[in-house]
Amino acid sequence: MRPPLVRYFPLASLAALTLPAAALAADPANETPTAQLPAVVVTASKRDQALDSVDGAAYVVPAETLRDNQVENTMQLGRVLPGVQFSESGSLLFPVISVRGITSAQDFYNPAITVYVDGVPQLPTFAAQQLVDVDRVELLKGPQGTLYGKSAEGGVLNIISRQPDDTPRFRASAGVFSREGYQFKAGASGPLVPGLLYGSVSGIVGDAPGRLRDPVTGADGVGGSSTNAGSARLRLAPAGRPWELGLSVSGECTRASQDAYVPFDDVHSREAVIMPGIPADRSDFRQRRCGTSQALTGRYDFGGWRLSAMAAWQRLHFDRDYPIGPYYSQQPERWRQQVQELRLATTGKHTVDTTLGLYRQRVVQSRDYVNDLYVPLSANALTTGSRNESESLAAFGDVTWHATEALDLSAGLRYSRDKADIHYDGSALNFSTFGYDAFGGSGHTRGNTVLGRLAAGYQLTQAWRVYANVAQGYKPGGYNLAPSSAADAEAYGKEKSVSYELGARYAGDAVRVGAAVFRTDIHDAQLYVSDQIGYQHLQNVGKTRATGVEFDAAWDVTRQWTLGLEGTYTHARFRALDAGVCAGCDDNRVPFSPAYLLTARVEGHFGTAAGELRPMLAVRRVGSQYFDVGNTLRQDAYTLVDLGLAWRPRDRIEVTAYVNNLTDRRYRTYAFAGGALGNYAQVDAGRTVGVNVAYEY
């Protein structure tokens, strides 16, 4: 039987779509165009494009909305992005981002949703990061393979930084919150040479302790993290000239005590699970991740075209030590990435708008893995050292023909050549002889991929637009980035997907609505398999299909109050699943994909004698989901309530008080089956109460 809320989803979708009609009926003057606000522009489509003209599900969240919802890092974006779930799979190194039944939990190292910062792909172990000096966040749902290539089956999340200009700006904030947490942020930007050279600098220092206690060492705050992050930017843009150059550098270091779990059936436990017999000096949860990024950009406008170039570098290293079952695991990794892109796109609106580009990405990962056994005896169980390299070369093009004033027809094509190489060696304890068996391997794989996209959009009226699109996506073949046996020298194959979407969008003066139905078919799905701790491996397991409906609506009831309603219902299941992975699981639900997401919002913005006030209330309902392929580890549906009030007593001062998870609902964010050792879970930290004070000019 379907959950009760699911029965009402079609009704909720219909109600959202009828909001514009109700608004028009109530106010016939809406038939006459009135003064319009500046169009919201989205750049994730790799050319400046009005949000209302995008023939697909697209969202833009400005910085003020992020602040009002206490979104300080990428893992908190689920509060403001409709139909998207963010969680962690053990630690911040492996975020799980799920949208439309596509989830990165199926392959932690090669997610189906990729995070970009100013158009630069972030390393998968750096997708969870602080939002430093952000102007807005853009999300394109559905496969974006023709523009972004691999790992964009579920969509693309692009974080856009604030660009320095002739206006001097400064903002500093300080906040404290539950569990003795705090965060300090400051940023400044403006002209260094007016009309020529501009710069900005920003920094963040914060600590977010967890809610667990280490039963052996007695340490509190387990499961939390502390972070230092900063960025600097130079922009050379001579006034009146058609070109500009940019340089950006950034870095972030995080110390954490993660990879800590509680028993699956005891979500209220405040003690991390540590097996009896683990020595005290091997009972700490320690993690340190540091990354740096640099990017050079340039652009030149000429005759209705823009030529853009980008070269970016990213380095990341982390140490990860933690007790798990009878083991103490140490897993340091080092990452290097180089990205270059050359792009030519039309500017403004022409009869035919075009985007053409060349792209290269090279990633090198090295990893050591030491798994020491302490119960029932002390011995090294596994030691490996590995090096993986991958490279993608691509050419892409996207064309939109404005066939009439109302009709747009689009097509995109991308050719990619991917290669991957691995070399590793190691030794494993033989539990029969108590000697060591050496293993190792090397391999290389190559593959070519051609992706296509077709879309059509029709402007029914000035406010109404309908669209349809078909798009392909893929994840390349390769090798396990955490090899633990000789079998890991065998490459897994490419994962392929095709998505279909029909949607409508209404943008009126007081009402804004979007709705879509979608279906995504994945073939040769890549999935981690095995319940044995430390020995999971990737393989192609079969097919999945996700179908669903989604909507988002906002109604400015008065000049001061706005009501919002967002919902997604997703039916994501395996099809033709390899029986060796899970016998009889062909129709099981895809893990980490909630059956539905529903959010109701109330937002206010009005002046009083005491100053400007911005109250906010959000109620989010998250449907049931599973954490494993066998559908044995289930999190039931739950409801979260967030409250906030921003008060601006003066133009330059703002005070915000908030309560997230008002009812202190405890729910699992991640879980896994440990075989004979039992089942384990990570649980949300619970209610968070905080206050921020900000000064800006």
260 inside domain: yes
Residue 90 or 623, more confident: 623
CA–CA distance, 205 with 176 (Å, rounded to integer)? 12
pLDDT at site 44: 67
Q: Are 381 and 371 in contact (CB under 8 A)?
A: yes
User: Which residue has tokens 């392909």?
Assistant: 472
Q: What is the band of 543 on the pLDDT scale with cuts at 50, 70, 90? A: very high
CA-CA distance, 9 to 661, in Å (whole number)? 24
**Bridge partners, residue 350, by sequence:** none
Q: Residue 25 pLDDT > 50, yes or no?
A: no
Do 384 and 368 touch, CB atoms closer than 8 A?
Answer: yes
What is the rounded average pLDDT of the residues 236-256?
97
Say which DSSP state 167 is in. Answer: S
- Whole-number pLDDT of residue 481: 92
Q: What is the dihedral of CA 392, 395, 401, 402, to 10 degrees?
A: 60
The structure tokens listed for 508 are 């009126």
| Domains: count for the chain | 1
Does residue 9 belong to any structural domain of this protein?
no
Residue 603 lies in a domain: yes
Residue 15 maps to a domain: no
Q: Closest by alpha carbon to 589, among 600, 607, 603, 577? A: 577
Question: What's the CA gap between 289 and 254, in Å, rounded?
Answer: 5
Residue 325 domain boundaries: 43-696
Interatomic CA distance for residues 679 and 689, integer angstroms: 31
Residues 6+ apart with CB under 8 A from 218: none
* Domain of residue 438, CATH code: 2.40.170.20
Q: Look at residue 533 and tell me whether its pLDDT is greater than 80.
A: no
Q: Which helix (H) or strand (E) holds 602?
A: strand 596-604
In this prediction, residue 530 carries a pLDDT of: 62
Given a cut of 70, is residue 146 above it in pLDDT? yes
Q: What is d(CA 110, CA 361) in angstroms, rounded to the nearest whole number?
A: 14
- Identify the DSSP state of 378: -
Has residue 8 got a pLDDT over 50? no
What is the 3-state secondary structure of 308-366? Answer: EEEEEEEEEEEEEEEEECCEEEECCEEEEEEEEEEEEEECCCCCEEEEEEEEEEEEEEE
Q: What percent of the chain has pLDDT over 90?
A: 80
Query: For the segment 287-309, what is each residue's pLDDT rounded down to a tens digit?
Result: 999 999 999 999 999 999 999 99
Q: Specify if 449 maps to a domain.
A: yes
Rounded to whole angstroms, the Cα distance separating 265 from 251 reads: 39
Mean pLDDT of 88-111: 84
Say what the pLDDT of residue 19 is.
47
**Those residues with Cβ within 8 angstroms of residue 687's Cβ, 6 or more apart along the chain or in another chain:** 178, 659, 660, 661, 662, 663, 664
Q: Is 397 exposed, middle or buried (0-12, 13-18, 19+ CB in 10 A)?
A: middle
Per-residue pLDDT at 676: 85
* Three-class SS state of 404: coil
What whole-number distance in Å separates Cα of residue 514 and Cα of residue 504? 6
Q: Is residue 223 part of a domain?
A: yes
Task: Specify the pLDDT at position 659.
Answer: 98
- Contacts for 195 with CB less than 8 Å, ≥ 6 apart: 166, 238, 239
Q: Which pLDDT score, from 0 to 100, does residue 200 have?
A: 98
* Residue 245 reports pLDDT greater than 80: yes
In a domain, 497, yes or no: yes
Average pLDDT score over residue span 198-214: 97
Residues 103 and 475: their CA atoms lie apart, in Å, by 13
Residue 48: the pLDDT is 81
Mean pLDDT of 636-642: 98
Question: Is the residue at 465 inside a domain?
Answer: yes
Give the E-state strand segments of 374-463 in sequence order. 379-402, 407-429, 436-459
Nearest to 635 by CA among 643, 623, 645, 647: 623
Residue 341: exposure state from Cβ atoms within 10 A (0-12, 13-18, ≥19): buried
Report whether 552 contacts 566 (CB < 8 A). yes
